Chains A and B, each alone.
Chain A
Amino acid sequence: MKVMAQMSMVMNLDKCIGCHTCSVTCKQAWTNRTGVEYVWFNNVETRPGIGYPRGYEDQEKWKGGWERTKRGRLKLKGGGRFSKIAHIFSNPKLPEIQDYYEPWTYEYDMLLNAPASADTPVAKPKSLLTGEDMSISWSANWDDNLGGSQETAADDPILQHMSEHVAMEFEQTFMFYLPRICEHCLNPSCVASCPSGAMYKRVEDGIVLVDQDSCRGWRMCVSGCPYKKVYFNHKTGKAEKCTLCYPRLEVGLPTVCSETCVGRLRYLGLVLYDADRVAAAASVENEHDLLEAQRDVFLDPHDPEVLAAARAEGIPEDWIDAAQRSPIWKLIQQYRVALPLHPEYRTMPMVWYIPPLSPVVDVVADSGADGEDVRNLFAAIDKLRIPMDYLAGLFTAGDVDPVARALKRLAAMRSYMRDVNLSDERNEHIATAVEMTGAEIEEMYRLLAIAKYEDRYVIPTAHVEQAAELEEIACSLDYDGGPGMGGAGPFGSSSGQPVPVAVENFHVLKNRQTADRPSTPGRVNLLNWDGNGTPPDGLFPPKSSGGSE
């Protein structure tokens, strides 16, 4: 047994209102740079829908993830080492920018500086790749809220497994949002695909990262990831991906997407797992067994044997404590309501989802029946074959049973708590129907519905004895080259040694304050003046020379 700790996430889809706050804050924090304009480390997809990049789930086309050979071994679906090297001069399965979308901006200056004319000036969209005019025809969430889905939803790879007739019916009855980040898999196929060995899984917390200094831009990770959550920065020529906001996690803060989530649907915590058994679990024959196999790899943080092994591996006490209080462990193993996204890719993903019950409730309520009654809900879950099949296609490789069990537990919680609230009656039989106790249901209710900040995020900090190693703890001007550097390096943008963030910000601010030409000519941006020195031109009216004041 080799105990390792994995920082993981569970998202409660019932609560997602599709507001994209997570995507926007993530973008502001991580990908608001040239080269990654088209990149969303976090995106929210409307389901049914074809996702971002378009149709990424169709692994017959993209060849991401692993597959099991006839001899029971795992091999990269896109081809192993020899095949990768043979295709190194032209990656055969790389999504093009059009599969994501062509990034654009608007000609905002026109709004301010257009000469007087009879027509209102418009800000034309301009491609960020060519600088030319473009017509916008796709983006990261083009089919948001099923917009235009009558044309595109049929291309949803999961719907394509169902008949077309079903697809149409489905669209009218069932819709939900699916926020996605990197899965930080236990068996990451992106890492396995990297020819340079630049991608790695952190030993301490299992976060999958790209070493920007070792990446040589072969792009095999982009093809290897079945979730298409590794992106190619077309300006720096390096791969980039969701970092699970490790600089925040290291100091005990939740990721930006979690922190800003309006629905408070994200949970962060540790899971202990047995690294020795991952490969065997990922190669079980029947795809339906993958969910159970992955659950078996997780280790009970209360088991004394596991604790002893964890201590022997050098996992700190506060991390063990965090693993015991982990909401992830509870949702996956204790309540068993969370399910992985596409276990059939055999990467052992570690961002799990609680399937949405609310659409089921809506169907029951729309039919005039009591949408909170446990019998009605159970019957609906058993009868609503289409949404069940769809959810199973997402979360359990097509096995409906685990989805139904999870939804029934959510339904039971709903009914049980309604009885408690309305009549202070604890109907133990509702809990027994889903193999739980009333007390357990109330605990689960606390975690899912009350969802206190400290219950949702149980994040042990990185160890203080390593503080001297943290990136910017020393004087941040004290680095090779010193202050006064800045600007683009000699070999294209961002070449040269990495500049500490504090220095980079300093130069950006300085450039903005001292630029010859303001970004909006003729206007003064008051935010650029920090109150010191001479005020920028145009802030005050010019002193009248020889005036009579």
Chain B
Amino acid sequence: MTPLDVLLWVAFPYAAFAVFVVGHIWRYRYDKFGWTTRSSQTYENRLLRWGSPMFHLGILFVIAGHVVGLLIPAEWLEAIGIDEHAYHIGATVLGTAAALLTIAGLVILIYRRRSIGPVFLATTRMDKTMYVFLGATILFGTLATVMYQVLGPGYEYRGTVSPWIRSLILLNPQPELMMNVPLAFQLHVLCATALFALWPFTRLVHVFSAPVGYFFRPYIVYRSRDAGRTNRPTRRGWEPVATPQDAKKAAKR
């Protein structure tokens, strides 16, 4: 095991994770106003109407597949009757379908972004960087699946990549697991890790804005003028004078 292996399979993932977490906290505190999907639908809708749902639904399936494949140990699935063969067939078929959907969507979206004037002008440098890493991650992932799972004999990543990820989560890193993994898988993992490090500084933050609260709140929202009147916290010594009316309101609450 070379120092490079430790760097790639221990230091880099942990560093990326730290940047991911701290970056999001920092971005949320510093840049609530910039936290948006940055939609370009008003410029163009004909391509977006197809590309966006295809890409997003595809990538959601892909993420679900990764959770099952990486985080759930093979023995657990076997315990509920899903053996290696069944898993392999399921993962390959569903995974390929989701990948096709995602890639088709992404191709439409990138074509749209490049060819529609206003959309291209609204693309920031960070967007372009993000597209490179996102595209590379998806590309290497698909390449690995096609090369080894669809055309090849099938690579059992649940014996290497998956335990490696779990070893990172359990704070007992085992970089040796990744040393003999095929290059396509390795590149896929590295690109994804870099993408996680970039995440908080790109438009990808909108993933964490999934409006779950919408299901649980009343339709009409009321807010008081007092609440959230400024972005600044009230400083010591500047608290507003409590009037009898405020006291009454406070007592009611």
A238-B33, A497-B231, A498-B231 are contacts. A90–B249 as well, Cβ < 8 Å?
Answer: no
A216 vs B209: C-alpha distance in the bound complex, in angstroms? 7
Partner of A191, one of B215, B219, B232, B238: B219
Interface residue A491 (Cβ < 8 Å from any Cβ of B): yes
User: In the complex the two chains form, is B243's CB within 8 Å of A132's CB?
Assistant: no
A212 vs B34: C-alpha distance in the bound complex, in angstroms? 9
Task: Please indicate the chain B residues that have their CB under 8 angstroms from the CB of A498 in the complex.
Answer: 33, 231
User: In the complex the two chains form, is A496's CB within 8 Å of B31's CB?
Assistant: yes
Task: Please indicate the chain A residues that have their CB under 8 angstroms from the CB of B34 in the complex.
Answer: 236, 489, 491-492, 494-496
User: In the complex the two chains form, is A90's CB within 8 Å of B36's CB?
Assistant: no
Partner of A495, one of B31, B229, B243: B31
Residue among B52, B55, B220 having the largest count of chain A Cβ atoms under 10 Å: B220
Task: Please indicate the chain A residues that have their CB under 8 angstroms from the CB of B201 in the complex.
Answer: 490-491
- Distance between A69 CB and nearest chain B CB, rounded to angstroms: 14
User: In the complex the two chains form, is A218's CB within 8 Å of B211's CB?
Assistant: yes
The A/B interface has a contact count, at CB < 8 Å, of 184
- Distance between A133 CB and nearest chain B CB, rounded to angstroms: 12
User: In the complex the two chains form, is B226's CB within 8 Å of A469's CB?
Assistant: yes
Task: Please indicate the chain A residues that have their CB under 8 angstroms from the CB of B222 in the complex.
Answer: 200-203
**Interface SS, B side:** loop
Interface residue B80 (Cβ < 8 Å from any Cβ of A): no
Interface residue A248 (Cβ < 8 Å from any Cβ of B): no
The chain B residue with its CB closest to the CB of A91 is B41
Interface residue B224 (Cβ < 8 Å from any Cβ of A): yes
Task: Please indicate the chain B residues that have their CB under 8 angstroms from the CB of A88 in the complex.
Answer: 211
Task: Please indicate the chain A residues that have their CB under 8 angstroms from the CB of B40 in the complex.
Answer: 234
The chain A residue with its CB closest to the CB of B223 is A200
Task: Please indicate the chain B residues that have their CB under 8 angstroms from the CB of A131 in the complex.
Answer: 121
Residue among B36, B126, B243 having the largest count of chain A Cβ atoms under 10 Å: B36
Interface residue B117 (Cβ < 8 Å from any Cβ of A): yes
Contact residues of B between 200 and 240, Cβ < 8 Å to A: 201, 206, 209, 211, 213-215, 217, 219-226, 228-232, 234, 238-240
A132 vs B117: C-alpha distance in the bound complex, in angstroms? 9
The total of chain A residues at the interface (CB under 8 A) is 70
Interface residue B48 (Cβ < 8 Å from any Cβ of A): yes
A89-B57, A96-B42, A465-B240 are contacts. A201–B220 as well, Cβ < 8 Å?
Answer: yes
Interface residue A196 (Cβ < 8 Å from any Cβ of B): yes
Interface residue A16 (Cβ < 8 Å from any Cβ of B): no
Task: Please indicate the chain A residues that have their CB under 8 angstroms from the CB of B33 in the complex.
Answer: 212-213, 236, 238, 494-498
User: In the complex the two chains form, is B117's CB within 8 Å of A216's CB?
Assistant: no
- Distance between B194 CB and nearest chain A CB, rounded to angstroms: 18
**Interface SS, A side:** loop
Interface residue A462 (Cβ < 8 Å from any Cβ of B): yes
- Distance between A317 CB and nearest chain B CB, rounded to angstroms: 10
Partner of B37, one of A76, A237, A466, A480: A237
Task: Please indicate the chain B residues that have their CB under 8 angstroms from the CB of A471 in the complex.
Answer: 229-230
A95 vs B228: C-alpha distance in the bound complex, in angstroms? 31
A76 vs B219: C-alpha distance in the bound complex, in angstroms? 10
- Distance between B43 CB and nearest chain A CB, rounded to angstroms: 6
User: In the complex the two chains form, is B49's CB within 8 Å of A215's CB?
Assistant: no
A506 vs B146: C-alpha distance in the bound complex, in angstroms? 58
- Distance between A101 CB and nearest chain B CB, rounded to angstroms: 12
User: In the complex the two chains form, is A187's CB within 8 Å of B225's CB?
Assistant: no
A235 vs B34: C-alpha distance in the bound complex, in angstroms? 10
- Distance between B132 CB and nearest chain A CB, rounded to angstroms: 17
Partner of B41, one of A85, A90, A203: A90
User: In the complex the two chains form, is A196's CB within 8 Å of B209's CB?
Assistant: yes
A129-B118, A191-B221 are contacts. A234–B32 as well, Cβ < 8 Å?
Answer: no
Interface residue B85 (Cβ < 8 Å from any Cβ of A): no
Partner of A188, one of B220, B224, B232, B249: B220
User: In the complex the two chains form, is B209's CB within 8 Å of A192's CB?
Assistant: no
User: In the complex the two chains form, is A469's CB within 8 Å of B229's CB?
Assistant: yes
Task: Please indicate the chain B residues that have their CB under 8 angstroms from the CB of A234 in the complex.
Answer: 40, 42-43, 118, 122
Interface residue A468 (Cβ < 8 Å from any Cβ of B): yes
User: In the complex the two chains form, is A197's CB within 8 Å of B217's CB?
Assistant: yes
User: In the complex the two chains form, is A204's CB within 8 Å of B224's CB?
Assistant: yes
User: In the complex the two chains form, is A192's CB within 8 Å of B245's CB?
Assistant: no
- Distance between B31 CB and nearest chain A CB, rounded to angstroms: 5
- Distance between B142 CB and nearest chain A CB, rounded to angstroms: 21
- Distance between B41 CB and nearest chain A CB, rounded to angstroms: 6
Interface residue B151 (Cβ < 8 Å from any Cβ of A): no
User: In the complex the two chains form, is B214's CB within 8 Å of A94's CB?
Assistant: no
Interface residue B79 (Cβ < 8 Å from any Cβ of A): no
Interface residue B56 (Cβ < 8 Å from any Cβ of A): yes
User: In the complex the two chains form, is B41's CB within 8 Å of A94's CB?
Assistant: yes
- Distance between B105 CB and nearest chain A CB, rounded to angstroms: 9
User: In the complex the two chains form, is B36's CB within 8 Å of A217's CB?
Assistant: yes
A218-B211, A491-B34 are contacts. A191–B249 as well, Cβ < 8 Å?
Answer: no
Interface residue A364 (Cβ < 8 Å from any Cβ of B): no
The chain B residue with its CB closest to the CB of A192 is B219
Interface residue B30 (Cβ < 8 Å from any Cβ of A): yes
Task: Please indicate the chain A residues that have their CB under 8 angstroms from the CB of B53 in the complex.
Answer: 89-90
User: In the complex the two chains form, is B121's CB within 8 Å of A129's CB?
Assistant: yes
A290 vs B229: C-alpha distance in the bound complex, in angstroms? 35
The chain B residue with its CB closest to the CB of A198 is B221
Interface residue B129 (Cβ < 8 Å from any Cβ of A): no
Contact with B along A192-232 (1 / 0, CB 8 A): 10111101111111000001111111110000000000001
Interface residue B2 (Cβ < 8 Å from any Cβ of A): no
Task: Please indicate the chain A residues that have their CB under 8 angstroms from the CB of B248 in the complex.
Answer: 314
Task: Please indicate the chain B residues that have their CB under 8 angstroms from the CB of A465 in the complex.
Answer: 240-243, 246
A21 vs B42: C-alpha distance in the bound complex, in angstroms? 28
Nearest 4 Cβ contacts at the A-B interface: A495-B34, A195-B211, A192-B219, A237-B36
In the complex, 22 of the A-B residue pairs with CB atoms within 8 angstroms, ordered by the A residue number, are A88-B211, A89-B55, A91-B41, A92-B49, A94-B41, A96-B42, A188-B220, A195-B214, A196-B213, A197-B213, A203-B223, A216-B37, A217-B38, A217-B206, A218-B37, A218-B211, A232-B39, A314-B248, A316-B245, A468-B240, A492-B124, A495-B33
**Besides A197-B211, A238-B36, A491-B34, 14 new A-B residue pairs in contact (Cβ under 8 A), listed by A number:** A88-B211, A90-B49, A94-B45, A129-B117, A129-B118, A191-B220, A195-B211, A196-B213, A200-B222, A217-B38, A218-B211, A463-B243, A468-B240, A491-B126
